[in-house]
């Protein structure tokens, strides 16, 4: 299961240019029941993974906006047509940041670090893929 970046991936992310716009593809599989630590105010309240993830989204949206980021696409995956069937996802979305540094600033923000506890409680597995935005051509891959 993958919830947070591993150190090697994080270092690779930081080694890429930080002054260019990026998009982050998010694939999220939620827990049935949110798993908050015992010292969290929402521990034992019976919140679903979706409840907790929505709390994460609501509480971090102002931070994202303050840093110039925005959600540019969202969808609910229905079936994996090509790929491992074990990789079923509940949510898929793309967030755009004005620079990679803005993403780094977000994850280092003390307020964000507090709110990300909702994400940790909610997520069973995830993928977070940094993308370099391209202008689409007429054909796939152009």
For the chain, list the domains and their CATH numbers: 20-131 (3.30.70.100)
The pLDDT, as a whole number, for residue 55 is 98
Give me Rg for the CA atoms of the chain: 16
Is the CB of residue 35 less than 8 Å from the CB of residue 121?
A: yes
Does the pTM of the predicted model rise above 0.85? yes
Cβ–Cβ contacts within 10 Å for residue 121, how many? 23
Q: What's the pLDDT score for residue 58?
A: 97
Q: Give the pLDDT confidence of 96-112 residue by residue, as tens digits.
A: 999 999 999 999 999 99
Residue 44 Rama label (left phi>0; alpha psi -120 to 50; beta) = left
């Amino acid at each position: 299961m993958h919830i947070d970046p591993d150190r090697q991936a994080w270092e690779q992310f930081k080694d890429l240019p930080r002054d260019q716009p990026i998009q982050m593809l998010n694939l999220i599989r939620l827990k049935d029941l949110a798993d908050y630590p015992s010292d969290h105010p929402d521990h034992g309240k019976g919140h679903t993974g979706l409840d907790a993830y929505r709390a994460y989204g609501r509480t971090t949206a102002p931070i994202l906006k303050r840093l110039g980021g925005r959600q540019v696409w969202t969808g609910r995956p229905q079936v994996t047509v090509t790929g491992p069937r074990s990789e079923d996802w509940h949510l898929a979305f793309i967030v755009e940041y004005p620079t990679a540094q803005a993403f780094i600033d977000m994850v280092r923000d003390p307020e964000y670090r507090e709110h990300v506890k909702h994400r940790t409680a909610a997520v069973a597995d995830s993928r977070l893929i940094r993308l370099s935005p391209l202008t689409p051509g007429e054909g796939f891959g152009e």
